[in-house]
């Protein structure tokens, strides 16, 4: 029997799930609500590692995605004067633990466009969910527009700070699911400087600050600011308009060195600024009656793993597959989904504290040590040696992608 499904969030996993559900059963009534005014196409470069690319290919997107992959040529560590201290080349996207730059990266706007424009899905923009209640027969929802509806299934695909999760699980349980890494991040794009190559650049400043820029073959430079300090300054700023959030990062990065002043000067003119506190979402099981969590809403792995997009695609694929496999019997399907994705979620959420500590030294001496360690590793070509001895099966991840014939996907 077909289902009436509400998907909250039109980032990556919302449209991916909707497309897969439509493949499985065109009779489903699928509505995607998004609080933004259009598909959420803003954003930075995404890693499509391990199982991510094979899943997109299973969806029949092989020919579409390959030309969209970003031509990044590697990553440099630079000092306060812009001098290159170490260079690491591009590696295969499956080998997540050793990759600074991979050959499986795509702009968020391109991926969202590609997923969102497939099929005849119903999108409702400028709306968010504000009330939710459920019983054995369905979920009653009220939207910010005042509209109400009753659905067989509600899917929370609305990110790390999911409002849907708060409504279904409660404020306390939802907050307890967030595990902060103590790092505050800002992302925005600025015009590319003349002569800027395709190499990503990483810069460490003292006081636990870091900056990453990425150009690839695109006309805009993506800027990432990471700060492991001034926690209260940032947490207060997140409650304020974007101008106040930008002021907070401007204050925190004062005197950082390198080209940071240029980045901060161009920040006011960008239209894609986004800032938040980086962390992981850990909650089990991933459903509560007829409300289910997908992607960052249920298992955000944090940006430093590079596995957020892949986990979103895994979750969308498995949820759609289990619903189809269980002939739309929601209870058993959600239980199976929660169990099947647990293995890749646990694997890709592994982020040893020592890794974070090493990436964000607090003192000038600590920065010097990190820079020299990077120089030594690059000089010894340790990254290439590690990749040479990694097993070939790691290219598409160790977790085997389940086969769901019931999804009626095209054969890749």
What pLDDT, on a 0 to 100 scale, did the predictor assign at position 384? 54
Mean pLDDT of 319-336: 98
Q: Is 394 exposed, middle or buried (0-12, 13-18, 19+ CB in 10 A)?
A: middle
Fold of 4-41+110-177+282-351: FAD/NAD(P)-binding domain (3.50.50)
Q: What angle do CA 358, 363, 366 make, to 5 degrees?
A: 40
CATH domain 72-91+181-280+363-376 topology = D-Amino Acid Oxidase; Chain A, domain 2 (3.30.9)
Using 50, 70 and 90 to split pLDDT, how confident is the model at 126?
Answer: very high
Whose structure tokens read 């009779």?
Answer: 27
Distance of CA 405 to the CA centre of its chain: 28
**Cα–Cα distance between 235 and 93 in angstroms, integer?**
34
Q: Domain limits of the chain? A: 4-41+110-177+282-351, 72-91+181-280+363-376
What is the rounded end-to-end Cα distance, in angstroms, of the chain? 28
Supply the pLDDT for residue 378: 78
Kindly report the pTM of this predicted structure: 0.90
* Tokens linked to 246: 């930008």
Beta-bridge mates of residue 292: 155, 287
Helix residue spans in 306-363 (DSSP H): 308-325, 330-340, 342-348, 353-359
pLDDT value, residue 45? 81
Q: What is the mean pLDDT of residues 222-243?
A: 95
pLDDT for 166-203, tens place per residue? Answer: 999 999 999 999 999 999 999 999 999 887 878 899 99
């Amino acid at each position: 029997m077909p289902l009436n499904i509400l998907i909250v969030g039109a980032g990556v996993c919302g449209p991916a799930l909707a497309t897969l559900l439509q493949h499985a059963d065109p009779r489903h009534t699928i509505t995607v609500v998004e609080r933004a005014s259009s598909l959420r196409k803003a954003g930075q470069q995404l890693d499509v590692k391990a199982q991510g690319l094979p899943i997109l290919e299973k969806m029949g997107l092989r020919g579409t995605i390959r030309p969209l992959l970003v031509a990044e040529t590697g990553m440099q560590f630079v000092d306060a004067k812009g001098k290159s201290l170490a260079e690491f080349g591009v590696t295969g996207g499956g080998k997540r633990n050793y990759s600074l730059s991979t050959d499986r990266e795509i702009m968020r706007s391109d991926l969202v466009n590609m997923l969102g424009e497939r099929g005849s899905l119903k999108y409702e923009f400028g709306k968010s969910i504000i009330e939710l209640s459920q019983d054995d027969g369905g979920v009653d929802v009220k939207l910010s527009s005042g509209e109400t509806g009753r659905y067989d299934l509600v899917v929370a695909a609305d990110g790390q700070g999911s409002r849907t999760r708060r409504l279904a699980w409660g404020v306390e349980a939802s907050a307890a699911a967030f595990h902060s890494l103590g790092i505050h991040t800002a992302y925005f794009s600025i015009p590319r400087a003349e002569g800027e190559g395709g190499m990503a650049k990483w810069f460490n400043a003292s006081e636990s600050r870091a900056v990453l820029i990425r150009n690839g073959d695109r006309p805009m430079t993506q800027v990432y600011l990471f700060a492991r300090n001034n926690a209260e300054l940032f947490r207060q700023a997140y409650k304020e308009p974007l101008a106040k959030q930008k002021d907070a990062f401007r204050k925190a990065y004062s005197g950082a060195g390198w080209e940071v002043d240029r980045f901060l000067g161009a920040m006011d003119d960008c239209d894609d600024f986004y800032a938040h506190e980086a962390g992981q979402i850990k909650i089990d099981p991933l459903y509560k009656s007829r409300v289910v969590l997908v992607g960052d809403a249920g298992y955000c792995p944090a940006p430093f793993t590079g596995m957020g997009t892949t986990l979103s695609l895994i979750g969308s694929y498995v949820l759609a597959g289990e619903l189809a496999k269980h002939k739309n019997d929601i209870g058993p399907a959600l239980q199976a989904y929660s169990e099947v994705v647990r293995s890749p979620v646990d694997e890709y959420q592994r982020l040893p504290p020592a890794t974070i500590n090493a990436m964000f030294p607090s003192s000038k001496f600590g920065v010097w040590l990190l820079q020299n360690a990077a120089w030594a590793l690059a000089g010894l070509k340790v990254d290439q040696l590690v990749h040479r001895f990694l097993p070939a099966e790691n290219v598409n991840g160790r977790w085997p992608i389940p086969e769901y014939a019931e999804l009626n996907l095209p054969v890749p």
